[in-house]
Amino acid sequence: MFALSPTLFRNVEGAIRSRQSLVSCLSLATLSRNYTTSTLKGPSPPILVDKRPIVITGPSGSGKSTLIEKLFQEYPSTFGFSVSHTTRKPRPGEKDGIAYHFVTEDEIQELINQDRFLEHAVFSGNHYGTSKKAVQDVFESGKICILDIDLQGVQHVRKSGLQARYVFVRPKSLDTLETRLRGRGTETEEAIQKRLHRAKNEWGYGMDPSNFDHVVINDQLKKAYEDLRDFIFSSQASKKT
Ligand SMILES: Nc1ncnc2c1ncn2[C@@H]1O[C@H](COP(=O)(O)OP(=O)(O)OP(=O)(O)O)[C@@H](O)[C@H]1O
């Protein structure tokens, strides 16, 4: 049976410790030079000082996947995605093992019984979960793990002791959220209503910046992406681990 290696937590702590010594060696000028320097082969990847996993949360339709996709497009070798399990059916174009591990309710229950998840929750009638192995695999590949998790799951991840940075993504208003959910065209009316109801309940928590290391207001996509990217490559310490 799989058990999350304690080294994941130790290694992440080690990364944090080495971050502190790295910060003292690298001047801000060096960091910003690396950030902007480009060569004939394209821009150099910036130095990512903080190696902790990054948990990205926010209401359904706020643009988490869109922002994460842009991050992966720009830095394909820096970040790794923690592939979640879900019992929902794949949307067109979603591949098993890449977008999600698509499983049945029986299969996910079996994994839950074996304590294989960092967090799991039922959302809009479907079960979702982040396995410990998914996070560990990314860490062992030498990449920074990105987790896309709903707010309920975030509470469980915090309790698990995983050292991470937490980012909340939201549009500027609930009306915008509704427009985007409808515009995506992937949900039934019932699913849209469930998502909006939940978003309303979570809105206050997400609006309080002290609950997260960073809040991204996803209004104009380009600006929101730059804001997220700047936060990720900044060396600021986490407030919420
Ligand atoms: N800044 C933006 N301006 C306009 N449309 C946007 C913006 N960001 C995302 N979108 C669109 O909004 C819709 C929802 O975005 P996305 O699927 O990334 O949300 P999500 O938070 O990942 O949702 P879920 O949690 O349900 O997976 C998509 O159709 C996306 O193209």
55 in any annotated domain: yes
Mean pLDDT across the chain, nearest whole number?
A: 81
135: containing domain: 7-233
239 in any annotated domain: no
* pLDDT 10s digits, 197-209: 999 999 988 888 8
CATH of the domain at 53: 3.40.50.300
Task: Determine if ligand 1 sits within 6 Å of the CB of residue 61.
Answer: yes
- Among the ranges given (7-11, 45-49, 94-98), the one the predictor scored with the smallest mean pLDDT: 7-11
What amino acid positions are annotated as catalytic residues? 91, 184, 195
* pLDDT 10s digits, 158-196: 988 889 999 999 999 999 999 999 999 988 999 999 999
ipTM of the complex: 0.97
Q: How far apart are the first and last CA of the chain?
A: 28
Average pLDDT over residues 66-91: 94
Cα 174 to ligand 1 centre (Å): 13
1 in any annotated domain: no
In percent, the amount of the chain with pLDDT more than 90 equals 60
* pLDDT 10s digits, 98-111: 889 999 999 999 99
How far is residue 148's CA from residue 170's CA, in Å, rounded to a whole number? Answer: 13
> Which of the four pLDDT bands, split at 50, 70 and 90, describes residue 215?
very high
pLDDT at 66 over 50: yes
146 in any annotated domain: yes
Please tell me which residue, 25 or 89, carries the higher pLDDT value.
89
> Which of the four pLDDT bands, split at 50, 70 and 90, describes residue 152?
confident
Task: Determine if ligand 1 sits within 6 Å of the CB of residue 136.
Answer: no
241 in any annotated domain: no
Residue closest by Cα to atom 26 of ligand 1: 60
Q: What is the DSSP letter of 96?
A: B
2 in any annotated domain: no
For the entire predicted model, the pTM comes to 0.77
pLDDT at 210 over 50: yes
143 in any annotated domain: yes
Please state the three-class secondary structure of 140-200 as a single string: HCCCEEEEECCHHHHHHHHHHCCCCEEEEEECCCHHHHHHHHHHHCCCCHHHHHHHHHHHH
Q: For the chain, what is the domain count?
A: 1
Tell the residue number behind the tokens 């809040």, with chain if given. 215
Residue closest by Cα to atom 15 of ligand 1: 63
Task: Determine if ligand 1 sits within 6 Å of the CB of residue 64.
Answer: yes
Q: What is the pLDDT of residue 181?
A: 94
* pLDDT 10s digits, 74-84: 999 999 988 99
Cα 56 to ligand 1 centre (Å): 13
Of ligand 1's listed atoms, the one at least distance from the Cα of 184 is: 29
Cα 198 to ligand 1 centre (Å): 16
137 in any annotated domain: yes
- Among the ranges given (44-53, 165-174, 178-187, 220-229), the one the predictor scored with the smallest mean pLDDT: 44-53
> Which of the four pLDDT bands, split at 50, 70 and 90, describes residue 236?
low
How far is residue 218's CA from residue 176's CA, in Å, rounded to a whole number? Answer: 10
Cα 66 to ligand 1 centre (Å): 6
Please tell me which residue, 220 or 27, carries the higher pLDDT value.
220
Please tell me which residue, 107 or 234, carries the higher pLDDT value.
107
In percent, the amount of the chain with pLDDT more than 70 equals 78
